[in-house]
Structures are given as structure tokens and as C-alpha cells.
Structure 1
Amino acid sequence: MDEFDVVVIGAGPAGAAAALAARRKGATVLLLDRDDFPRDKPCGDGIAAEALDVLKDLGVPDAAGGYPAVPRLRLVGPGGAAVARELPRAAHTVPRRVFDARLVAAAVAAGAELRRHAVRKIAETGGGVVVDGRFRGHVLIGADGATSIVRRAVGETVNPPGHLAFALRGYAPTANTDEQLIVTTRQQWPAYAWEFPIGDGTANVGYGEVLRGRALSRAYLERRLREMLPGAEPTGLRGHHLPLSTRRPAPVRGRVLLAGDALSLINPFTGEGIFYAVLSGALAGEAAARRDPAAYRIALRRRLGRHLRHSRLVALLSREPRVVDAAVRAADRDGRVFRRMVELGLGDGVFDLRTIGRILGETVRRHPATP
């Protein structure tokens, strides 16, 4: 049986970041994935500046190299209110077949051992965690996505309706080069469509909505996408689940840690998950290398605890479409409100009393109390 300090299951952004962080601490690392790289992964492909900060600290300074910055965001509320402003920090759109392959290559270059292997069974023993009777790690990190085998193996169920979204993603020609577009809708709320330009005359486009206990057909999702992005003619359409952070499993079970989508780290307001993935992966990898799983729980709470409480509150409030429209109007009037919304939706930001007050003010202005 092959033995390692750390075994990471899943070589996406969370897993690659975990491997990089563990190697920087000198641990031996096995990185397992069922696919070869490069491989496609259905996703919005949006890479926030905060995610690139984490990767730079892990020794990957050019994860978005060759893909131009996208400096602006246009957000359309469910009632038609709109705001378009410069992002506090420019984002990038990098196809996951490129982005993930770069991170895996960086992990391998740092000394992680990559093997193609479809995991079926994990078992914790007195001396570590055994994978399929072939590999043993002192600590195991489950970074194997929304349908995580590791998560199920430690007794954690999948997210229930209301805490799980589904999205359809494709690529379409566009003349847009410098603006991320998010269009929300009252129909089947909460739901939205997006267009994120890549910089080569195409954009990542998609539509998603929170699942409410009924199946969504591909025909329905394609129709909604075309209704909300008129003129879009996407190809390469693929669907994916998004386990929202409003219902997270325990991050640590004995010697097993969960990171990224396996930990339901998807922003419930925007659907963003890359920043959460690389950050949680980095924190998990460092704790695993130190052979101190409990340190991961503490690090997560310290770095994301307050933010996740705020994003959960915003998700609850945004169940009312008029509140979202009020937030969009407030962001259009006030650049500081816009900045707070972006930082909460794309990074680890929080709302302050001033932002909340501005949004409430817009709500009252449009919906005054009746005597």
C-alpha cells in the first residue's frame, strides 16, 4: 500500500490548492482524480481577484495569464433595476479546462504526485485513512465536488431543496469584451442568467435557479437561457449542481477534511465558488500537513465565519425580489454600496450598517408603509 502524509481526492481548484499548501509545508501528497487533465468542468469560469490572491500566495502568480481583465459588472435586478460600475478589482474569465490544468500542473511541479483513479471507498484506520485498499494518508482531504464521494463516506448527506441550485452553461459569440453581465428574474426566483466575456470574441453564458424539489429539464433551462439572453446561441451546453453555503456539512470528521464544493462552499447570492475553493483548499492543505485536522475548522471560522453569516442573511433577505431591486438601486446611487455587494458576492466581504441602511431606505422609498 502506498503511503503519504496527505491524500487529496479531487484535483479541481480546491484539491490543487490543498496539494500546493501541503507541499509548501513539506508534506508528501497524493492527488487523485477520476479524469485526465485538461478536462472541461461546467462552471461560469469567473475568476475573482481574491481567488488569484490566494493562488499567488501558493506560488501560482499567473493562473489567469493570457486572459484579459474584465473591469466592469452590470447587474439587472428581478424588477428591472440596473447598475453598471467598475469592479473594485477586475475579474477574469478563464475556461476551467485551462484554469484547472494550470493549477494541477503547479501542484505537480511543487512535488505532489498525481494519479488518475476513481475513488470508491474510504476507511479511517488507527493510523490514517485508506482509499480503496491501495493508498493510505495520515490525513485525507475531500475536494471532489458537488457529488463528493468523500462527503457521503463520512455520513454527510447532499444539500436538500432550497439549498441546492442547478445551472446550464455554454459558450456563445459576443461583442462584449469588458463587462460581466448578471440578469436576475422574478420567474422561478431566485434565478439568474449570466454572460462573462473571455476576451476572444466568445463568452461563458448560462442560466441557473435554486432547486425547489422538482426536476428541471434541459429544454426548460435552454429556453430560460435564451429568453434572458436574447440573441445568445450557445454551444457546449452542460449542466452542474451548486451546493449552496446556506447548508454546510461539518468540515472535519476525524482525519477527513472537506473543501470547496464538497463542503457546500458556493455563494448563495452569486453562485461563485472558485474563491471559496482555493481558500478552503489552502487552509485544509496546511492543516493536513501539520497533522492537525482541528486547525482547519478554526482557520475556516476565523477567515470565513463572519462572511458566511452575512451571506446567509443576504440569501434570506433576497428571497424577496423587491429587496434585491432595492439593493441594485442603492448600488447604482452609491459606489460604496456597490463595492460592499461585490465583496460579499465574490470574496469574503461583509455588509456594514451603512450599506444595510441604504438598501432599507430604497425599499421604503419604493414601498412606503401604509397608515
Structure 2
Amino acid sequence: MEHWDVVIVGGGPAGAACALAARRADPSARVLVLDRVDFPRDKVCGDGIAAEALDVLAGLGVDPSSVTDGYPAVPRLRLTSPRGTTVERATARPSYVIPRSVLDARLVAAAQESGAVLRHHHVRQVRPRAGHVELDRAITAGVLVGADGAESVVRRALRVQRNLPTQLAVALRGYAPEPPGQRGVQVIVTTEQRWPAYAWSFPLGDGRVNVGYGELVSGGATRAGLVEGLHRLLPGISPAGLKAHRLPLSTGRPRQPDGRVLLAGDAASLINPLTGEGIFYAVLSGALAGRAAGAGAGAGAAYRRELGSRLGRHLRHSSVASRLSRRPALMDAVFRAAGDDQRVFDAVVALGLADGRLTPRALAGAARRLR
């Protein structure tokens, strides 16, 4: 069998970041990335890239300007609460909106430039063995990283339980002409109807917007219902190429097992339960997994510690915020407080798009607005 030090299943942001980190930690490591399709390829997503995700990539030696080239910064965010309160402000740092067909191809190319090997291969069988992990009776890995998305083959092979319907969202995404007045502004609209549910419209800077709508699977989501919700919250939008995808939320994330098999990104249910954001979690968890891979049999425990240290507190706060957000009146109070105070707005954005926390200032502002 063909042996590699690190094998990564999935060449998206989590897989590419993992390969970059593994090669950076040990330039002699033989790193193989497997993906079942060729690049460039589309991936159903909101396409929003927070500045914090670019920070992680910069720490792996990737020039952020090479990732964002051709796509202008989006400096403002407009939020609408379930009861109609709208707040628009400049974010502390601008975001970018980059189609995944472009982003993923650029990141996997950076991984190849670092010395990782990319191969077109559809993994069907994973078997942990003493001293290595076997894939399809053809490849062995000192450490295997599952970065293969919401329907992860690696996760199933570990017999890790799937997210419950209350911990699983489904979203529909397409592209449409940019509406008047939205240049440079990301838009997120929430609604009491079928709550928790939201729509988004993110400008790419080329005259188009990425638009979508998502809600919990437990609410009985159907394609017709998703399309109706999209048009209800974003009237006048005429998107093309609507595709659906599942979002395993971090409220249902599994415990990373010990051993030589790691899970990163969507495969580890690392999707923000408030916003559906997953790219920051993907590149961060991928980077942590790549660094931990050098521990061999101890990789699982090392990765679990690093993930807990880096994201544990944030994930606890986002889970609490997710439960609190089930009260539309509280969400409305938070949005009004964000309209009053830039620091509350920044805290809300950091909690939903990066690794922020529930701050005393944000909680106090919401409490005042509830009175």
C-alpha cells in the first residue's frame, strides 16, 4: 500500500488549511489531499469571508491579498431583527465575498505550493488499524483528517452520531443581480415566521449578490418553503442556480475521539448556530488539526486540547446565545442595542462571524432594551 504521513479527505478550506499547517509544522511530512471532484468546483455557501479567517491563513503563510484578489472589501453590515428592527454599521474590519469555486481553488493551490499533493479520489472505506489508518485498501496514513463536509465519509466510519434535527439547518443559495443601494453592504434578515430562520444577500462586487435562506430541519423545511422564505425576506430578488445544502451546527458537535483520525470543519459540526458561518471555523480547525497531526497516535487528544483552548469558550457562548435567540423579543432588543452602541454591534458581529463572546456590555444593552 501507498503510505503518507498525513492524508486529508476533502480539499475545501478546512482541508487546505490542514495541509498548509501540516507542511508548515514539518516540511518533510508527506501530505496527501483527496477530493472526489476536480478543482475549480462550486460549493453551496454564502461565500462570506470574515477578516479573522484571513488572519488564520496569513499565519499559515498565505498572503491574504492573493486570496481576495479581484473581490473588493465589504465594509458594512445591515441586520434586521425578527420584529423588524434594522441596524446598519461599519464592521470593525471588512469582510469579503468570494465564490467558493474561486476561494477553494486558490487555497488548495496554496497547499500544493507548500508541498502537499492533491489527488482526485472518492474515499469509500476508512479502517483504523494499529499504527496507521487504511483507506480503500490502497492508501495508509499515519494520521487521517476528515475535512469532507456535512456528509463526511470519515465521520460515518468513526460511527460518530449525526446531528439531531434541532441541531441541523438547511439552506438554499443562488446568485442574483445586485439590488440598488447594496454595494459594500452585507445584509442579514431574520424573521419570526418559522423562527429561527434568516435570509442573506452578500455583494460580490461584480454586479451580483450571493443570496440565500435557511432554517432548522426540525421545523419541517422543504424546498418550496425555503424558496418562499427567500422571496418573502428578500422581495424583488430573482436568483439563478438555487442549490440546497445542510448545515450541521456546532450545538451538535461531537467529541473529537482519541487516536489517528481527526475531524475538521463541517465534518466536525463546526458551523455557527447563529449565522450559519463556517469558513472561519473551517480554516481554524483545519490549521489546528494539521499541527496536531505530527503527534501520531496522540493526534486526536492533542487536537481536542488545542480546539478546546482556541474555540471552547466561544462555542459555549455561541450555544448559549443560540438558545437565547429563540426569543424574538430578545433578538430585537439586542439589535436595538447594537444600533445604539458600536461596541455592542462589534460584539454581535464577532460572536456570529468569528470567535467572539457574549460581552457584559452587549447583555446589559439588551437588558435595557427589554424593559
TM range, normalised to the smaller chain? over 0.9
Alignment partner, residue 192 of structure 2: 186
Whether the aligned pair in 2 keeps the contact of 1:194 and 1:206 (CA below 8 Å) is yes
Deviations, residues 169-211 of structure 1 (Å, cap 9, x unaligned): 0000013211000000001000000000000000000000011
- Partner residue of 1:2? 2
Contact 2:170 2:245 in 1 (8 A): yes
Q: Identical aligned pairs, as a percentage? A: 58
Asked if structure 2 preserves the Cα contact closer than 8 Å seen for 1:194 and 1:205, the reply is: yes
Query: Aligned equivalents of 2:285 and 2:266: distance in 1?
Result: 10
Q: 2:208 aligns with which of 202, 208, 215?
A: 202
Report if the CA contact (8 A) 2:337-2:369 is conserved: yes
1:112 aligned partner, one-letter code: A
What is aligned with 1:110? 114
User: What is the SS of the residue equivalent to 2:34?
Assistant: strand
What residue number does 1:43 align with? 45
Aligned equivalent of 1:66, options 62, 65, 70: 70
Shift, 1:299, TM fit: 0.6
Root mean square deviation, CA, Å? 1.0
For residues 330-341 of structure 1, what are the structure 2 equivalents within 5 Å? 330-341=337-348
Counterpart code for 1:11: G
Pick from 258, 263, 267 the counterpart of residue 263 of structure 2.
258
Distance 2:62 2:333 in 1: 39
Letter aligned with residue 15 of structure 1: G
Q: Which amino acid aligns with 1:297?
A: R
Tell me which residue corresponds to 2:135. 131
What TM-score results when the alignment is normalised by the length of structure 1? 0.96
* C-alpha distance in structure 2 between counterparts of 1:213 and 1:250, whole Å: 26
Letter of the 1:20 counterpart = L
Query: Which residue number corresponds to residue 16 of structure 1?
Result: 16
Instruction: Give CA-to-partner distance per residue, 1:87-132, whole Å, 9 cap, x none.
Output: 1110000000000000111111111111111111100111210011
Which residue identity does 1:78 align to in structure 2?
Answer: P
Greater mean alpha carbon deviation, residues 54-63 or residues 333-342: 54-63
For the residues of structure 2 that align with 1:354 and 1:72, how far apart are their CA atoms?
Answer: 21
Structure 1 residue 289: Cα displacement: 2.6
Residue 169 of structure 2 corresponds to residue 162 of structure 1: no
Q: Is 2:289 the counterpart of 1:287? A: no
Q: 1:177 aligns with which of 160, 170, 183?
A: 183
- Tell me the distance in 2 between the aligned counterparts of 1:131 and 1:308: 32
On the 8 A contact 1:38/1:97 being kept in 2, the answer is yes
What is the one-letter code of the residue matched to 2:332?
D
SS in 2 for 1:252: coil
1:368 aligned partner: none
What amino acid maps onto 1:346 in structure 2?
L
In structure 1, what is the equivalent of residue 331 of structure 2?
324
TM-score, with structure 2 as normaliser: 0.96
Q: Distance in 1 between matches of 2:113 and 2:105?
A: 12
Equivalents in 2 of 1:252, 1:287: separation in Å? Answer: 13
Amino acid aligned to 2:262: L
Equivalence for 2:79: 75
C-alpha distance in 1 between matches for 2:307 and 2:124:
28
Structure 1: gaps of 5 or more residues: 365-371
- Which residue of structure 2 lines up, in the alignment, with residue 306 of structure 1? 313
Question: Quick one: distance in 2 between partners of 1:212 and 1:220?
Answer: 13
Following the alignment from structure 2 to structure 1, what is the Cα–Cα distance between the partners of residues 257 and 289?
10
Corresponding letter in the other structure for 1:16:
A
Structure-1 residue corresponding to 2:35: 33
Secondary structure of 2:366's partner?
Answer: helix
**3-state secondary structure, aligned to 2:67:** coil
Deviation, 1:354, is 2.1
Shift of 1:357: 1.2
Contact 2:78/2:188 (<8 A) preserved: yes
- Is residue 9–residue 141 contact of structure 1 (8 Å, CA) maintained in 2? yes
Does the CA-based 8 Å contact 2:194-2:219 persist in structure 1? no
CA contact (8 A) 2:201 2:212 kept: yes
Q: Look up the SS of the partner of 2:250 in the other structure.
A: coil
Shift of 1:213: 5.8
Instruction: Name the CA distance, whole Å, in 2 between partners of 1:162 and 1:230.
Output: 28
Greater shift in the superposed pair: 249-258 or 266-275: 249-258
Question: Aligned letter for 1:190?
Answer: P
Shift of 1:219: 2.2
Counterpart contact for 2:14–2:286, Cα < 8 Å: yes
How far residue 236 of structure 1 moved from its aligned partner, in angstroms, is 1.1
Q: Is the 8 A contact 1:252 1:296 kept in 2?
A: no
- Report the Cα distance in structure 2 between the residues aligned to 1:8 and 1:341, rounded to whole angstroms: 33
3-state SS, counterpart of residue 227 of structure 2:
helix
Cα deviation code 1:4-55 (max 9, x no counterpart): 1101001110001001100112221010010100000000000000000001
Distance in 2, Cα, partners of 1:6 & 1:170: 35
Match of 1:230 in 2: 235
Q: Aligned partners of 2:226, 2:345: CA distance in 1, in Å?
A: 29
> In the alignment, what sits opposite 1:90?
94
Q: Give me the whole-angstrom Cα distance separating, in 2, the residues matched to 1:150 and 1:253.
A: 14
CA displacement, residues 257-291 of structure 1 (integer Å, 9 cap, x when unaligned): 00000000000011100000000000000100342
Q: Which residue of 1 aligns with 2:59?
A: 57
Distance 1:104 1:220 in 2: 35
Q: Which residue of 2 aligns with 1:143?
A: 147
